[in-house]
Amino acid sequence: MRRLTRTPRENWESIVESQGLAFHRSAHPAHLGRPYWDEGAEYVLEMDEVLALEEQVEELHRMCLAAADHVVREWRFADFAIPEWAAPAVAESWRRRDPHVFGRFDLRYDGNGPAKLLEYNADTPTSLLESSVVQWYWLQDVHPGDDQWNSIHERLVDRWKGLELPTGPVHFAWTRMDETGEEVMTLGYLQETADQAGLTTVAIAMEDIGWDPEARRFVDLEGRTMRTLCKLYPWEWAIADPFGPHAVAQQVSMTWIEPLWKMLLSNKALLAILWELYPGHPNLLPAYLDGPRDLTSYVRKPLLGREGASITVVAPEGTVTTPGAYGAEGHVYQEFAPLPEFDGRRPVLGAWVVHDEAAGLGIRETSTLITDDTSSFVPHRIPL
């Protein structure tokens, strides 16, 4: 794995915007000094590296599913700060194996040795369009003879085709709380993959979803009963809403993408459960729920944090903390493994899983130790 610099395509902003990357200006203001989509650099990975990473990602995914099963069997929902009233529905969602579509592992990888799991974005993963579409067209324009770890689009379409869904349209819900437009862009792309799979789809804001108290069903703006809902609204937010109990009660009569049991994989308590079940595994870092124990360098992460907020890095060289209001539910303490440095930049690999298979790669990088909402997306290629 290596990082190369290159000259961006002429008029690249218009190109990526025409491909759907509409939020890159609003989400990445000019004062940051570099664009969100940064094709002034590229990462080059060899095919044997990618094949090894694919195997590691699928093994990690299997381990995560086993960890979810362990949490349900041992009733360890308190470790995940899941309310007692919601835990039985989460357990039943898992036992039914309610269908899931996609997720993204964040990995530390420097090209030498196994990748290390940093977290699993299993409920509301973003950077999807960039990973699936935008960098693929970049590859066709810039390196048409090379390959890329990227079958995301095809696998998403196939996954939608393989789902057994209730009758009626599939609703894709975004929230107006997202001021950057990233969420509506991501949902729009997911909706497009469902359209290509032959499904009938409807876009709706979470705030416009209604509740019919007589039928005891959620309805859209036209009064249609909603039977399948794909959302990027985190489950921990949903169950805390006034209508959260209705959403939990609708688990049997509706299909939710992602399903309620994904609360067990999108919560960073998962990191400690994995280390408990697979101590010393080469793709894991030591992690604990009750404190750093014997770790001299560690990262304190909120169980339900987002975008690198409210994180504290403790190392002999000093302590670094990012601002944020997360952490009320508790924290996990994970061994600190600094992201590798390439030309002064630190990449984190976002490895995508569609259904249960590794599907592709997106790379974000910063100049700091913590990947946050100031990171830039850099495309990659595999030389042939």
Give the containing element (helix H, strand E) for 270. helix 269-277
Report CA-CA distances (Å) from 178 to 27, 29, 152, 155.
10, 16, 24, 27
Could you report the per-residue pLDDT of 273-315, keeping only the tens digit for each? Answer: 999 999 999 999 999 999 999 999 999 999 998 888 899 999 9
How far separated are the first and last CA of the chain, in Å rounded? 14
pLDDT of residue 29: 58
Output the six-digit token pair for 363.
Answer: 């790379």
pLDDT of residue 137: 98
Are 126 and 182 a contacting pair, CB within 8 Å?
A: yes
What residues contact 33, with CB distance under 8 A and at least 6 apart? none
Could you report the per-residue pLDDT of 68-80, keeping only the tens digit for each? Answer: 999 999 999 999 9
Closest CA to 194 of 218, 229, 219: 229
pTM of the entire structure? 0.95
Are 189 and 128 a contacting pair, CB within 8 Å?
A: yes
Quick one: what percent of the chain has pLDDT higher than 70? 98
What residues contact 64, with CB distance under 8 A and at least 6 apart? 120, 122, 265, 270, 274
Q: Is the predicted pLDDT of residue 67 greater than 90, yes or no?
A: yes
Could you report the per-residue pLDDT of 112-130, keeping only the tens digit for each? Answer: 989 999 999 999 999 999 9
pLDDT of residue 293: 97
Residue 184: other Cβ atoms inside 10 A: 20
In 65-115, the DSSP E strands lie at 102-108
Q: Give residue 113's Cα distance to chain centre.
A: 24
334: confidence class by pLDDT, cuts 50, 70, 90 = very high
- Name beta bridge partners: 362: 350
Could you report the per-residue pLDDT of 354-380, keeping only the tens digit for each? Answer: 999 999 999 999 988 888 778 899 999
